[in-house]
């Protein structure tokens, strides 16, 4: 007797339909490997054989709402740059992005279950293209960001995408400022908006490294904490967004640049997504 759990397991492994999986498992007397062979012989587009491959190429796709208060980003990965530039792959990315835009799923997992063309789900369409081109394809990232103004930035080649949420907009069009900050994030890869958002484990690690360096330099023990605190402040300045030197004008910080656009303008959050 083939259980519903077994059918679902084969469905997850291959992406084939429920009834096809049940028939294949029944014919294979519950043997999963034989069932996969049966599905393949019957022309099913089985993606299981690609599941362990590295997918480090692909493209980032982004879309804004008209009021710029929301933005959506997906990263669609594949194995080779050739496929990443393929029209069908690009069209699939746009289709998945549009599904996200229209339905606003709460997670990547929910995004994969959304219906698209022909009554298929996003996951079905991915499996369909995997079967056609023979490469692993996967949605590696899905981001839905809201704010007073959410500005997307795509780096050359569409391999790197950034979403920046700005606050303190004061009714101004801050699109250009958002793109400038997106470029900054793409280039400098800050760990957070400012020191208040830095992960506590990372702070502890940096302090540990700083103290070890100071002791190795032979500094007096009673000076270790003070010098380490100075090193940590330097880390925050170089590795968090707002106090970083602005790449387009090194006479000011990112915080000063934004405040110069409109008083009080700053960054609420950001997300940087890199293919590979």
pTM: predicted TM-score of the whole model, two decimal places? 0.78
**pLDDT tens digits, one per residue of 89-109:** 999 999 999 999 999 999 999
Q: Identify which of 75, 67, 107 has the alpha carbon closest to the alpha carbon of residue 93.
A: 75
- Is residue 61 located within the same domain as residue 133? yes
- Is residue 75 located within the same domain as residue 113? yes
Domain of 42, CATH number, reads 1.10.8.10
In a domain, 196, yes or no: no
In a domain, 157, yes or no: no
- Is residue 82 located within the same domain as residue 130? yes
In a domain, 119, yes or no: yes
In a domain, 211, yes or no: no
What average pLDDT does this structure show over 52-63?
Answer: 88
Query: Residue 243 and residue 254: Cα distance in Å, rounded?
Result: 6
The residues near 197 (Cβ < 8 Å, ≥ 6 apart) are 240
- Is residue 97 located within the same domain as residue 139? yes
In a domain, 12, yes or no: yes
In a domain, 274, yes or no: no
Residue pointed to by tokens 């043997």: 31
- Is residue 81 located within the same domain as residue 110? yes
**pLDDT tens digits, one per residue of 133-172:** 888 899 999 999 999 999 999 997 899 999 999 999 999 9
Q: Identify which of 50, 74, 161, 59 has the alpha carbon closest to the alpha carbon of residue 122.
A: 74
**pLDDT tens digits, one per residue of 188-198:** 999 999 999 99
User: In total, how many domains does the chain have?
Assistant: 2
Domain of 74, CATH number, reads 3.30.479.20
In a domain, 233, yes or no: no
In a domain, 30, yes or no: yes
Domain that holds residue 35: 4-46
């Amino acid at each position: 007797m083939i259980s519903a759990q077994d059918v679902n397991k084969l469905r997850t492994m291959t992406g084939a339909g429920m009834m096809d999986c049940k028939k294949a498992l029944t014919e294979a007397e519950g043997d999963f490997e034989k069932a996969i062979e049966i599905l393949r012989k019957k022309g099913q587009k089985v993606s299981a054989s690609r599941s362990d491959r590295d997918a480090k190429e692909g493209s980032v796709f982004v879309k804004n709402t008209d009021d710029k208060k929301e933005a959506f980003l997906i990263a669609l990965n594949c194995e080779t740059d050739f496929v990443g530039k393929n029209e069908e792959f690009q069209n699939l990315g746009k289709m998945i992005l549009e599904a996200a835009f229209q339905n606003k799923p709460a997670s990547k997992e929910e995004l994969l279950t959304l219906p698209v063309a022909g009554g298929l789900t996003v996951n079905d369409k991915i499996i369909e293209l995997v079967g056609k081109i023979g490469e692993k394809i996967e949605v590696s990232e899905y981001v839905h960001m809201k704010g007073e103004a959410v500005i997307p930035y795509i780096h050359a080649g569409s391999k790197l995408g950034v979403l920046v949420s700005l606050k303190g907009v004061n009714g101004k069009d801050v699109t250009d400022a958002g793109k400038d900050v997106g470029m900054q994030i793409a280039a400098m890869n800050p760990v957070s908006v400012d020191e208040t958002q830095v992960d506590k484990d990372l702070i502890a690690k940096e302090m540990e490294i700083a103290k070890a360096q100071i002791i190795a330099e032979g500094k007096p023990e009673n000076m270790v904490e003070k010098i380490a605190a100075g090193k940590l402040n330097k880390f925050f300045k170089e590795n968090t967004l707002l106090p970083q030197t602005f790449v387009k004008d090194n006479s000011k910080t990112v915080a000063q640049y934004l405040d110069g656009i409109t008083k009080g303008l700053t960054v609420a959050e950001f997300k940087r997504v890199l293919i590979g």
